[in-house]
A and B are shown apart, each in its own frame.
Chain A
């Protein structure tokens, strides 16, 4: 500032304090001025001390790596939703993307959490009941058709989370599926000649369809 500008004029290299006091004697060579930032990896003068090894160190190390892996598998690890690609691909059907319906995979104790944090999944269902009732064909007792429809709905369930185009379709499926659950599984079984549990509809290839519908009722 002002004084510094003035000092520059008068006597170059004059400092405001006595250099000898901090130990720089007259005529001593000062280190060269730094003209660039220090190097990213400066050379190490002294090698670092070796890390602790031995049973305890190994165990804690293994524990750490295990914990890291375990936490990635827990439901608390939230993966961002896979962005929709330009074309629909066949493999999309068999890939498990994020939790369906944007719900949480685990059940927290809702009494301990603020109410606003509950994700309302029911909203869609309510809308659906008003829209779809006229559309829905009368329920037939044709079990084969039901089975095929159920297959379709479960397949479609494995696709992406609600988007504008798919919304209607999904609403339809989920409504259907909800109604179908009212069937007792045993009853259903008795009506066919085929034992439902032996039937492998190939869904398991892509991963089980998580029946989040059961848990959506909070």
Chain B
């Protein structure tokens, strides 16, 4: 794990789970797999705190444990999973576009709580939806269950590994930690539950508990009375499936930008048909025949078979090679080159970064070297039609930032420098890694700056929150306009200005984080796909 990644993980953990969890988490990321007592000793925190932190981390799938010999349990942190926390809003928004509010809330609850049983999720989501509905209406559990089942069918949520049921008699004392078993077949199997009920609206005066002392009763009644039918079956959000969806989205929009709407629809249809059949890390989708594609096109599109064939041929001949032709049976067998598509997207990202950072002439040189693979200094000047001095300057700028590298080709076996060719080349994989590293640093900087800004204006923020609370309570009890006006004037005009600026800055920083995370996704997918092929 690079320093930049560790720093980013530390910031994310501190922001979402507090300092104690952050200390333990970062320690585990740095040192790898360790048992409980060593963690407590090395970090200098009390054993209880470490236990609490580990419970939280394991619940959120950020740390896994393993039983080693002699009964020692070792804990290991998953750094890449911690970095996924940046992408939670994007996952939730995607579910909203696909399954509307119900699906959005289901995925949100699963992400916020790590893992939950289906009944717990359904109940909570129904309650939340009921709160937002008008008075008198409630959300039925059945509807939420249906959405949950649909999410499971399309693999967006999956079951967590199960605790194996062992017979206690012959094994002696139970093991110190359960070994969780991944059941591939049942991963998306929804248990048969008959969840009947409606969402409950939470009222400020607790009418249900009237006449009983408040604190003790309600906790007992709900949880412990009925046995939960799907006890032990926990669900989590399937991040891989979301990534697959994002990748498909990126490919479709790339095709739409390059060609036109119809071709992007064709590509989208092809991707949809291979969603379940192709594993997400495959370099190509399964071959699809032109007839199949024709049948599966969305209903609104009435293009004739011939036009479809023309489009497919165009796509296959495109130099970007998103779509390839793998045979002629069935009217032509076509595949989507997932790896090539990801590589093109990553390259486009690199080009765009060079253009925005160094200018369009540098970008021209960069694209040139990309295309021609290896070029000498003189050739660069000639092909790019840029005067020698400037070309040199630009090449060295890019070289110093590691977008371009030098390749030495010796003429003589003694590698004498005067008799060696020095060629400029772009190594896309290493440039992508370098850019990814920079992205991690950028996000860490953005988060730090945002926290700094918030801390600077902490006093002002607290004051404004207090004023809002006062106004809200006064409105609830029915105050006059004049009084409200007075309270609002407690915040002076320059302070209001300051608050506005703060809000604008924080929004900008947040939006930048989201943007950088999209770049991270593309680069990580490309690097992963390349590593799998090797």
A115: chain B residues within 8 A (beta carbon): 174, 176-177
A109 in contact with B112 (CB, 8 Å): no
A185 in contact with B216 (CB, 8 Å): yes
Cβ of A78 under 8 Å from chain B: yes
* Given A65-B510, A112-B178, A208-B215: A60 in contact with B60 (beta carbons within 8 A): no
B59 in contact with A76 (CB, 8 Å): yes
A117 in contact with B422 (CB, 8 Å): no
* Smallest CB gap from A23: residue in B: B377
Report the bound CA distance from A28 to B511 in whole Å: 45
Q: Please, could you name 7 A-B residue pairs with CB atoms under 8 Å apart, sorted by A?
A: A15-B417, A18-B418, A21-B377, A51-B511, A104-B52, A117-B51, A119-B48
Q: B14-32 toward A: CB 8 Å interface, digit per residue (1/0)?
A: 0111111100000000000
Which chain B residues (109-168) contact chain A, with CB distance < 8 Å? 112-114, 163
Cβ of B208 under 8 Å from chain A: no
Secondary structure class of chain A's binding surface, majority of residues: loop
A63 in contact with B515 (CB, 8 Å): no
Instruction: Please choose the segment from B85-93, B193-201, B324-332 that sits at the chain A interface, where 4 or more of its residues have CB less than 8 A away.
Output: B85-93
- Candidates B48, B112, B234, B422; contact of A70 at CB < 8 Å: B112
Report the bound CA distance from A213 to B113 in whole Å: 24
Please give the number of chain A residues whose Cβ is less than 8 angstroms from any Cβ of chain B in the complex. Answer: 57
Cβ of B214 under 8 Å from chain A: yes
Q: Which 7 A-B pairs have the closest CB atoms?
A: A17-B417, A114-B177, A23-B377, A18-B418, A64-B89, A63-B89, A102-B48
* Given A64-B89, A116-B36, A116-B176: A196 in contact with B73 (beta carbons within 8 A): no
Cβ of B187 under 8 Å from chain A: no
Report the bound CA distance from A104 to B220 in whole Å: 17
Instruction: List 18 additional A-B contacts (Cβ < 8 Å) besides A52-B511, A74-B113.
Output: A18-B418, A22-B406, A23-B388, A59-B93, A60-B89, A64-B513, A67-B112, A68-B16, A76-B60, A80-B19, A113-B58, A113-B177, A114-B176, A116-B73, A117-B51, A117-B54, A117-B55, A185-B212
Q: A45-57 toward B: CB 8 Å interface, digit per residue (1/0)?
A: 1101101100011
B92 in contact with A63 (CB, 8 Å): yes
Shortest A167–chain B CB gap in Å is 15
* Smallest CB gap from B56: residue in A: A76
Shortest A9–chain B CB gap in Å is 21
* Smallest CB gap from A47: residue in B: B356
B356: chain A residues within 8 A (beta carbon): 46, 48-49
Cβ of B305 under 8 Å from chain A: no
Report the bound CA distance from A210 to B214 in whole Å: 11
- Candidates B16, B49, B163, B213; contact of A71 at CB < 8 Å: B16
Determine the interface band of chain B, counting residues with CB < 8 A from chain A. Answer: 35 or more
Cβ of B392 under 8 Å from chain A: yes
Shortest A79–chain B CB gap in Å is 6
Shortest A189–chain B CB gap in Å is 9
- Candidates B16, B20, B163, B417; contact of A16 at CB < 8 Å: B417
A74 in contact with B112 (CB, 8 Å): yes
B211 in contact with A197 (CB, 8 Å): yes
A218: chain B residues within 8 A (beta carbon): none
B59: chain A residues within 8 A (beta carbon): 76, 108
Which chain A residues (59-93) contact chain B, with CB distance < 8 Å? 59-61, 63-65, 67-68, 70-72, 74, 76-80
* Smallest CB gap from A64: residue in B: B89
A56: chain B residues within 8 A (beta carbon): 93
Shortest B10–chain A CB gap in Å is 15
- Candidates B15, B53, B234, B389; contact of A78 at CB < 8 Å: B53
* Given A46-B357, A77-B16, A211-B216: A21 in contact with B417 (beta carbons within 8 A): yes
A64 in contact with B18 (CB, 8 Å): no
A80 in contact with B20 (CB, 8 Å): yes
Q: Which of B52, B176, B213, B508 has the most CB of A within 10 A?
A: B52
A67 in contact with B178 (CB, 8 Å): no
Report the bound CA distance from A70 to B50 in whole Å: 23
B392: chain A residues within 8 A (beta carbon): 23-24
* Given A63-B93, A116-B36: A78 in contact with B54 (beta carbons within 8 A): no
Shortest B235–chain A CB gap in Å is 13
* Given A74-B112, A109-B234: A57 in contact with B511 (beta carbons within 8 A): yes
Cβ of A209 under 8 Å from chain B: yes
Cβ of A142 under 8 Å from chain B: no
A196: chain B residues within 8 A (beta carbon): 213
Cβ of B359 under 8 Å from chain A: yes
A214 in contact with B216 (CB, 8 Å): yes
Q: B396-438 toward A: CB 8 Å interface, digit per residue (1/0)?
A: 0000000000100000000001101110000000000000000
Q: B487-523 toward A: CB 8 Å interface, digit per residue (1/0)?
A: 0000000000000000000011011111100000000
Q: B276-291 toward A: CB 8 Å interface, digit per residue (1/0)?
A: 0000000000000000
Cβ of A144 under 8 Å from chain B: no
Report the bound CA distance from A89 to B214 in whole Å: 28
Cβ of A12 under 8 Å from chain B: no
Which chain A residues (1-36) contact chain B, with CB distance < 8 Å? 15-18, 21-25, 28
A114 in contact with B511 (CB, 8 Å): no
Cβ of A139 under 8 Å from chain B: no
Shortest B412–chain A CB gap in Å is 13
Shortest A162–chain B CB gap in Å is 10
Cβ of B232 under 8 Å from chain A: yes
B212: chain A residues within 8 A (beta carbon): 185, 197
Shortest B327–chain A CB gap in Å is 39
* Given A64-B510, A78-B18: A21 in contact with B420 (beta carbons within 8 A): yes
Cβ of A135 under 8 Å from chain B: no
A209 in contact with B215 (CB, 8 Å): yes
B67: chain A residues within 8 A (beta carbon): 114
B89 in contact with A45 (CB, 8 Å): no
B41: chain A residues within 8 A (beta carbon): none
Which chain A residues (89-134) contact chain B, with CB distance < 8 Å? 102, 104, 108-109, 111-119
Report the bound CA distance from A196 to B510 in whole Å: 50
* Given A64-B510, A78-B53, A117-B55: A17 in contact with B215 (beta carbons within 8 A): no
B21: chain A residues within 8 A (beta carbon): 76, 78
Report the bound CA distance from A209 to B49 in whole Å: 22
Shortest A38–chain B CB gap in Å is 11
B422: chain A residues within 8 A (beta carbon): 21-22
Cβ of B474 under 8 Å from chain A: no
Which chain B residues (377-398) contact chain A, with CB distance < 8 Å? 377-378, 388-389, 391-392, 395
